[in-house]
Amino acid sequence: MEQARILIAIGLSFLVFFLWELFFIDRDAAPPPERTQQTAEAPRQAAPETPPGPRPETPTATTAPETDAADATPPSSPVRTVRPARTITVDTPLYRATLSEQGALMTSFVLKNYREAVGETAPLKELVPEMAGATMLTDFTGGASLGMENAVFKAAPGRNSVSLSDAPRTLSFTWTSPDGVKVEKSYAFSPDTYLIGYTVRVDNRSGLALRDPLTVTLTAADESAGAYYAFEGPSVLVNHSLEQIKPKDVGKEGPISGEVQWVAMEKQYFLSALIPRNEGEARVRFSKTPTGILQNHYVAPARPIASGGVEQFQFDLYFGPKSLKVLSDLNNELDRAIDFGWFDIIAKPGLQLMNFIYGMIPNYGIAIIILTILIKIVLWPLGNKGYKSMNEMKKLQPEMAKIREKYKDDKKKMNEELMSLYKTYKINPMGGCLPMILQIPVFIAFYRMLYGAIELRHAPFFGWINDLSAPDRLFNFDVGYVPLMEPPYGIPVLTIVMGATMFLQQKMTPAPGDPAQAKMMTFLPIVFTFIFINFPSGLVLYWLVNNVLSIAQQSYIGKKKS
């Protein structure tokens, strides 16, 4: 087999494999198809539907009072008014959380160390967008539904703004249903962690047992249309196995059952998660409202609460960055949400090493350069073998050309003579392909890592590269559309330089004898340049530095041999 054909096959295979990984690979393991039950929307949406059950009537905002028992109007009054819901803000060094007495729900969660866009004037990052209404919807599902999502709870008297700087603080909300079921929802905030304690205490003072399971729902807006290379949507760690459901599949997949470690709503760089403190056989359902709000429902193990009985459901909440270091320190397996796919075993150590380098040199662009050099050093011996074989093949080009000319009408005989030539000079035609083959898993691992690492989000390098997680654009052209380029529109300087290094590498590679093959090889750098034009500048920087080092190594081996 000719080396030229091998090179083309490897190059095209790499291209196909890479494009497949980008756009078509489906790593989202899912349970057998089964239609999920639709649940209530966020409080800002329509009122929830109540499945049939033993209770003849479910209290809502119009059919039953939603005030605390202490605030109820006298029985002689023909109309019972609903007390206006207070809004309470909890301010910590890491975030600002807003909770409403209506449903005792979280209506806003703003991260203080992250912004929506590059620049000090950009607004802080909001994890509960307004269109989602609220999150942490909690109620019993089935006939025992109490209508908690629409009820007006009562917070303890105090100021509407709480500031935490050195000590934890618990915020509690209470409400009693018309049937006499008292519910207390408590949030325990700490100033030095994104982890929040969440407890639901149910005191059943009604005359009936509560037999239906408690369900806690996380909500998020479906913004997956712009997430081309990273997963965004509902996920669950069940039986210590990660399951991610693409938003387009929500409503098509059935519930997942098993020992649930956590449920979450994932964004490219951020995470909202519910972690049961007492793991057990639970169920997780997924739904989507007509307005595009994704819902991840954790259905707790059934715990019947007899009349006069009390039950507590305890959880931890996490609203914060998908930082490997932050999540690993929590020791609750939330770091499993950072999933780099098949090459996780390469990507995560690479991320940890990059962060270690950044600790000494606080510039992630420089950290990527140093990390690339370290990888090249590790692969240097194997690269040497590949480039030596390539140089030997270069010397045989005249002999190979003669064989091709002599047997141009007999392909079988041509290949036999070429293989005999390789054997005579003890050359492995695959040897020159070794560096490219070795780079494929490393490149894909780094593509996944550099694209998903929150450390690179809005991280500057130098000059016009002020965000290593975004494509590099010099200038900003105010035009309507540029083919093959995602906005903002500008000159992709780093990508063009990277393409030039690939073209130089291609020129240094022994040319195939077949003119058609040679032309195809010439176009590969152009194809890769257009593929990289919308990639994060951090990834382009890695590939550029890797190309420069490869050119230097190939030149060194060539001069040494000559």
The per-residue pLDDT for range 424-446, each reduced to its tens digit, is 877 776 666 666 677 778 878 88
431 against 322, higher pLDDT = 322
Span 83-98, average pLDDT? 94
pLDDT of residue 554: 83
Span 305-327, average pLDDT? 95
pLDDT of residue 241: 94
pLDDT of residue 513: 53
For residue range 223-248, list pLDDT tens digits in order: 766 555 678 999 999 999 999 999 98
Burial class (CB in 10 A: 0-12, 13-18, 19+), 221: middle
In sequence order, what DSSP letters do the residues of 91-126 get, joined into one string?
Answer: E-SSEEEEEETBTTEEEEEEEEEEESSSSTTSPEEE
Look at residue 337 and tell me whether its pLDDT is greater than 90: yes
One-letter identity of residue 37:
Q
Ranked by mean pLDDT, the top range of 84-93, 401-410, 447-456, 525-534 is 84-93
pLDDT of residue 528: 85
For residue range 363-383, list pLDDT tens digits in order: 999 999 999 999 889 888 877
- Estimate to the nearest angstrom the gap between the alpha carbon of 483 and the chain centroid: 27
Tokens encoding 172: 């509690």
Tokens encoding 9: 């096959």
97 strand-pairing partners: 90, 109
Cα separation of 120 and 59, whole Å? 47
Model confidence at 327, pLDDT cuts 50, 70, 90, reads: very high
Span 189-218, average pLDDT? 94
In sequence order, what DSSP letters do the residues of 225-277 get, joined into one string?
Answer: GG-SSS--EEEEEETTEEEE--GGGTTTB--EEEEEEEEEEE-SSEEEEEEES
pLDDT of residue 228: 58
pLDDT of residue 562: 60
Burial class (CB in 10 A: 0-12, 13-18, 19+), 45: middle
Look at residue 222 and tell me whether its pLDDT is greater than 50: yes
pLDDT of residue 34: 37
Span 484-501, average pLDDT? 91
Look at residue 391 and tell me whether its pLDDT is greater than 60: yes
Cα separation of 506 and 522, whole Å? 7
Model confidence at 352, pLDDT cuts 50, 70, 90, reads: very high
Q: How many residues does the chain have?
A: 562
Any idea which of 57-71, 112-126, 287-301, 489-503 has the lowest mean pLDDT?
57-71
Tokens encoding 237: 């760690």
Model confidence at 418, pLDDT cuts 50, 70, 90, reads: confident
pLDDT of residue 510: 65
Cα separation of 478 and 12, whole Å? 36
289 against 518, higher pLDDT = 289
Look at residue 19 and tell me whether its pLDDT is greater than 90: no
Any idea which of 133-142, 255-264, 332-341, 519-528 has the lowest mean pLDDT?
519-528
pLDDT of residue 133: 85
The answer to whether the beta carbons of residues 151 and 137 sit under 8 Å apart is: no
113 against 343, higher pLDDT = 113
Helices (H), 264-343: 324-328
pLDDT of residue 514: 58
Span 97-112, average pLDDT? 96
Any idea which of 22-31, 45-54, 180-189 has the lowest mean pLDDT?
45-54
Burial class (CB in 10 A: 0-12, 13-18, 19+), 56: exposed
Look at residue 26 and tell me whether its pLDDT is greater than 60: no
Q: Is 331 left (phi over 0), alpha (psi -120 to 50) or beta?
A: left
Span 123-137, average pLDDT? 90
Pairing of strands 105-115, 124-126: antiparallel
Judge if pTM exceeds 0.85: no
167 against 515, higher pLDDT = 167
Span 516-526, average pLDDT? 73
Model confidence at 302, pLDDT cuts 50, 70, 90, reads: confident
Model confidence at 516, pLDDT cuts 50, 70, 90, reads: low
Look at residue 2 and tell me whether its pLDDT is greater than 80: no
- SS3 per-residue string spanning 494-552: HHHHHHHHHHHHHHHCCCCCCHHHHHHHHHHHHHHHHHHCCCCHHHHHHHHHHHHHHHH
What the chain holds in terms of domains, given with CATH numbers, is 3-21+359-395+431-561 (no CATH), 83-337 (2.70.98.90)
For residue range 262-294, list pLDDT tens digits in order: 999 999 999 999 999 987 789 999 999 988 899
pLDDT of residue 11: 54
Q: What is the DSSP letter of 130?
A: G
